[in-house]
Structure 1
Amino acid sequence: MITLTPPVTTLKEHEVAKKTKSKRKEYTKVDVKLLKEHSKARTPVAKLSKLMKRSEGSLRQKARSLGVGLGHQR
């Protein structure tokens, strides 16, 4: 006969795991220059995201605030 045991968890029934806080990374003058260069070169946002180690959303927001076209919003 096989007995099943409930899964072991470290949290109690109504506890929620703590979320990790993300640290913001300010845009430097070099980052802005690089973003503008890649905008002119029409580099895909996914590739630029990996290159600059920033999310696609972050890059799109910064490009929009600078008035630079990026990705499909041209």
Structure 2
Amino acid sequence: MARTKKIVRREWTKEDVRQMKTMAKAKDGVTKIAKSLKRTPGATSVMAAKLGISLSMRA
């Protein structure tokens, strides 16, 4: 039998959102932001889109 990994969802705290906003303003990439928040790049980009934050690395 294949082992299934239990999905554990964590709520986004105000501190998580604040850190994501500052890192996005500094033009850090999605993967770097996701690693610092200990989240997946997909979850990070979805939350950024919900909040209207651009994660573009372009100047």
TM over 0.5: yes
Deviation per CA, 1:46-69, whole angstroms, max 9, x where unpaired? 111211110000000000000010
Gaps of 5+ in 1: 1-15
What letter is aligned with 1:50?
K
Q: Cα distance, 1:71 vs. partner? A: 3.4
Normalising by structure 2, we get a TM-score of 0.85
Answering whether residue 52 of structure 2 is matched by residue 47 of structure 1, we say: no
Normalising by structure 1, we get a TM-score of 0.69
Q: Which residue of 2 aligns with 1:70?
A: 55
Bigger Rg over Cα: 1
Deviation per CA, 1:8-66, whole angstroms, max 9, x where unpaired? xxxxxxxx424121100110000011111111111111111211110000000000000
Structure having the larger proportion of residues in helix: 2
Q: Please identify runs of 4+ aligned residues in structure 1 that moved more than 3 A.
A: none
